[in-house]
Amino acid sequence: MSQTYYLDADIIIAYFDEDDREKYGVARKTIGKVKSTIRRNPEIDVKIPSIALAEIFSWFLKDSRLPRVSHDFPKLMNDLRADFPSPRKEHYKEAVHSLRKTIT
């Protein structure tokens, strides 16, 4: 059975952010479980939306973190077999519709 796990920028950033020990520990545990699960079931897809990827890179560049994670990040993406889909027009329409419902 095919499944898809979507990972947001927060979980990836926390995976590398050793300054926030609590989030770091939770992220390490969570991503460890995802990696273990996809090793057992190769039909699981991991997706990190392209907008989240931009947020992750922005965080990496802040305070010169990029040199520290430049080797670990590609390895993690490879281990997760991650894909980076871009939002399509219907996704934006859904978001606007959802926002309108919460406002009214």
pTM over 0.85: no
**Residue 8: pLDDT band by 50, 70, 90 thresholds?**
very high
What whole-number distance in Å separates Cα of residue 88 and Cα of residue 67?
Answer: 32
Q: pLDDT value at position 91?
A: 72
C-alpha distances in Å from residue 55, one per residue of 28, 32, 60, 76, 86: 19, 22, 9, 17, 14
Q: pLDDT value at position 88?
A: 81
Lowest mean pLDDT among 35-44, 56-65, 93-102: 93-102
Provide the residue ranges of all domains of the chain, joining segments of one domain with +.
3-103
What whole-number distance in Å separates Cα of residue 37 and Cα of residue 91?
Answer: 28
Q: pLDDT value at position 1?
A: 56
HSE value, Cβ hemisphere, 13 Å, CA-based, for 34: 25
HSE value, Cβ hemisphere, 13 Å, CA-based, for 95: 6
**Residue 87: pLDDT band by 50, 70, 90 thresholds?**
confident
